[in-house]
Structure 1
Amino acid sequence: MPATDPSSAPERPSDEVIEALHKLVLESLDDDQAVDTISIPLAGKSSIADHMVIASGRSTRQVASMASKLAQRIKVETGRSARIEGLPNADWVLIDAGDVIVHLFRPEVRSFYNLERMWSFGDAPAAPATGPATAPATGTA
């Protein structure tokens, strides 16, 4: 069995590239009027991604639309294809963009699973995200 060459592993994108992807995700969700968008920093806490973004849509139609537009925008602006799960039902859609994981929910499904609590690591609550950068919520989405 051949040994795995560590130098052949895909190279991790730079912090600037990761932050640009994170900003793109937040801007897209803001443009599509996502509700209660939060961003949970995972860098140094989990190897799955550097950021987890959680947001709600008011209906399955809005959740599906936000997910499709976000995946398309990621493809156009980064050249990377995001993987999408859950689009047919659109109660909970997962978008894996590599260094940023996005969960889009209908409000009642989000409340049931409560991912924010699960991923808080006992630290301060996840930072609300409004617009292109994480910032305190202003009461609008």
Structure 2
Amino acid sequence: MENKEILQQIATACDDKRAEDIVALDMQQVSLIADYFVICHGNNERQVQSIARGIKEKMQEQDIDVKRMEGFEQARWILVDVGGIVCHIFHKDERNYYNLERLWGDANRVPLQFGLEG
């Protein structure tokens, strides 16, 4: 499966757990960290953890390795590393503070599609 397909799977997993303001950034021309970032937020710690779990489960269903997950216990900013794609799941209060979309403003947004499965 190509990174763009995995990106959509991750975004769908976020959407399935009612993540808010899901944004995908193409990082290939601006950073060596990852090919893509997915950024979203939940309204409380439990939802933030649920989103992270949902991504991990969706990746396991596809036999895709989650390389690393950090910040799960505190659930203020969970980072899920899926190789070329890094998903940042914020608590809503933290998202505005860190404002990764502005920090990585040179990155192009990647259009995502939701609700088309079935």
Work out whether residues 41 and 52 of structure 1, in 8 Å CA contact, stay in contact via their aligned partners in 2. Answer: yes
Residue 72 (structure 1) shift: 2.0
Which of 17, 26, 36 matches 1:41?
Answer: 26
1:44-83 aligned at under 5 Å gives the runs 44-83=29-68
**How far apart, in 2, do the equivalents of 1:82 and 1:44 lie?**
22
Q: Which runs of 5+ in 1 are unaligned?
A: 1-15, 134-141
1:67-106 aligned at under 5 Å gives the runs 67-106=52-91
- Using structure 2 for the length normalisation, give the TM-score: 0.87
CA RMSD for the aligned pairs?
2.1
Work out whether residues 36 and 128 of structure 1, in 8 Å CA contact, stay in contact via their aligned partners in 2. Answer: no
Residue 100 (structure 1) shift: 0.8
**How far apart, in 2, do the equivalents of 1:66 and 1:22 lie?**
15
Distance 1:57 1:129, change over 3 A: farther
Computing the radius of gyration over CA atoms, which structure comes out larger, 1 or 2? 1
Work out whether residues 55 and 104 of structure 1, in 8 Å CA contact, stay in contact via their aligned partners in 2. Answer: yes
- Using structure 1 for the length normalisation, give the TM-score: 0.74
**How far apart, in 2, do the equivalents of 1:19 and 1:128 lie?**
11
1:30 aligns with 2:22: no
Q: Which runs of 5+ in 2 are unaligned?
A: none
- Flag as ranges the 4+ runs of structure 1 deviating above 6 A: none
- Report the count of equivalent residues: 116
Which of 98, 105, 114 matches 1:131?
Answer: 114
Percent of counterpart pairs with the same letter?
29
SS at match of 1:78: coil
